Amino acid sequence: MTKEHRPDLKSAQVKKSEASISPSMASMPLDVKLSPDGKTIVRVKGISRGALVRSAPQVTLSRKRSHDEARVVYFDTALNEPYRSLGKGKKYLIYTWGCQMNVHDTETMAGILELMGFVPTEDEKGADLILFNTCAIRENAEDKVYGELGRLKALKQEKPGLILGMAGCMAQEEGVVARILKSYPHVDLVFGTHNIHRLPVLIHEALMSKEMVVEVWNMEGEIVEHLPKARQGGIKAWVNIAYGCDEFCTYCIVPYTRGGERSRAPEEILSELRDLARQGYKEVTLLGQNVNAYGKDFKTRMYTFADLLKDVHALPIPWVRFTTSHPRDFDSRAVDVLARGGNLLEHIHLPVQSGSDRVLKAMNRKYTREHYLELVAEMRSKIKDVSFTTDIIVGFPGETEEDFDQTLTLVETVRYDGAFTFIYSPREGTPAAKMDDTTPMSVKKARLAKLNEVLARITYERQQTLLGRTVEVLVEGVSKKDETVLTGRTRANKIVHFYGPSSLIGQFAEVRIEDAKTWTLYGKLIRARDVALAGR
């Protein structure tokens, strides 16, 4: 794995092809000029403000993949001036949409900002910098972001010195930058998922420039290690083990917004985990768009997700989870390691998306219904008390009633403990967005309601099996509805409420379940523990 000492913060590593104007931007009434220093200045006709475009997203470039192993560089936390004191006396606020990966990216942004001297605030009017870390997985998430950007226009007019920025997966979409240029000229900064480490430079440019600053890399760059993190709570932490996705499911925008699969070196992951253990964190979730593909991109070593789990199993982290898994890449070696129990928890989030082979093929999921059910059966036979949750899409283009019925029968067979269910949302630039979709929305909504009804019944039945049992709970805090009630999660990721002293927050407790609702368990505290039980 190629290594260098530090990333070059002063220059964006952008190919000439990336600096060109995307088709979405080219269709707009633009004036495009080069400044004397070679920077591209884009101005939408009729709008007074221009944009300094270092690079803008293009779908054709986002599809490309490098066959080389990712280059590793190290972030220099000893920031030089002017970046180190740029935020002195200033406050920042970050709004986050989307998955755990986005939440963890926000922790990285916050860590960099605090290294620059910024301090956090929850008061919009008191903020000097507001960032939107966005999600592109569904249209309604994007609509919320646009609504919030529009809402903050008045604050920007009231406080011209405020820096307003968009980051995350939305920024990686080709049409988004064009829309921001045209309809949201009060935005000062747009950057994507591949260049978060350049935040100090981008903020400096946004402060010094009269133009909007746009830098969105189309292809993934290096893996940047030693990035600062501003983690919250001190109980649970997220740790990236890999970035990107090469599955290219036909409905999914993630391979375009997150780039190709790149695995972190196991030495870096294990070192970060040991550090979190020393800090007293009780639970860590290993993150990746497809954790089961971890290590496939290594060229100079044979080291897989199963190998990583084996090494993690020996660390003094009490609880370890991981997400998200892909059924095609979940092999028997990984199942065998998980069967050892201990700090490797028995909750598996295993997205199925559909129970129909015909729909799975149209989705390019690369596995069959039979393969999925065989994998579930193997896990149930090897992992004691294993708990499954999943993701399911209804109303995918061409889905028939027969296809939907096959999803229902699969749900009945697996008997999930929970599921995230969605009506298909077309994403611009994905193959599925071009497929004929003649199913009325009313039918899709009816299917979703029926699916959720079946899932709720099964979840309730699964919850009832825990009545009278004593479960181990990691206490996370107090209930939102009653501050005298503690709340936490079991090894199987089930929510438990019970009465107990607030001193238990951040500790483990044994709780006997006395009542079970569909989504929540209620119990009685038996005893508190400083350390987790040994596991299965």
* Residues annotated within a binding site: 99, 135, 169, 245, 249, 252
Q: Parallel, antiparallel, or unpaired: how do β-strands 262-263 and 30-34 relate?
A: unpaired
**What length is written for the chain?**
536
Please give the Cα distance from 133 to 268 (Å, whole number): 25
Among 214, 207, 534, 199, which residue's Cα sits nearest to residue 384?
A: 534
Spatial separation of the C-alpha atoms in residues 361 and 270, rounded to whole Å: 37
Give the integer Cα–Cα distance in Å for 166 and 173: 12
Binding site per annotation, positions for [4Fe-4S] cluster = 99, 135, 169, 245, 249, 252
Q: Which runs of consecutive H residues, i.e. helices, occur in 190-251?
A: 199-208
What's the Rg (C-alpha) of the chain?
A: 24
d(CA 239, CA 229): 10
CA distance 378 to 333: 11
Rounded to whole angstroms, the Cα distance separating 113 from 110 reads 5
Q: How far is CA 489 from CA 285, 473, 486, 523, in A?
A: 14, 5, 11, 12
Which residues lie across from 487 on neighbouring strands?
477, 497
DSSP state letter for 425: -
**Residue 131 C-alpha from the chain's centroid:** 17
The CA distance from 66 to 219, in Å, is 9
Place of tokens 């260049």: 195
Q: How many CB atoms lie within 10 A of CB 399?
A: 24
Q: At how many degrees (to 10) do helices 401-414 and 441-464 cross?
A: 10
* Residue whose pair of structure tokens reads 């008390």 in the numeric block: 385
DSSP state, 426? Answer: -
Biggest CA pair distance of the chain: 75
Closest CA to 40 of 49, 48, 31: 31
Two structure tokens written together for 264: 């972190």
Rounded to 5°, the CA angle 379-99-405 comes to 55
Collapsing DSSP states into helix, strand and coil, what is residue 254? helix
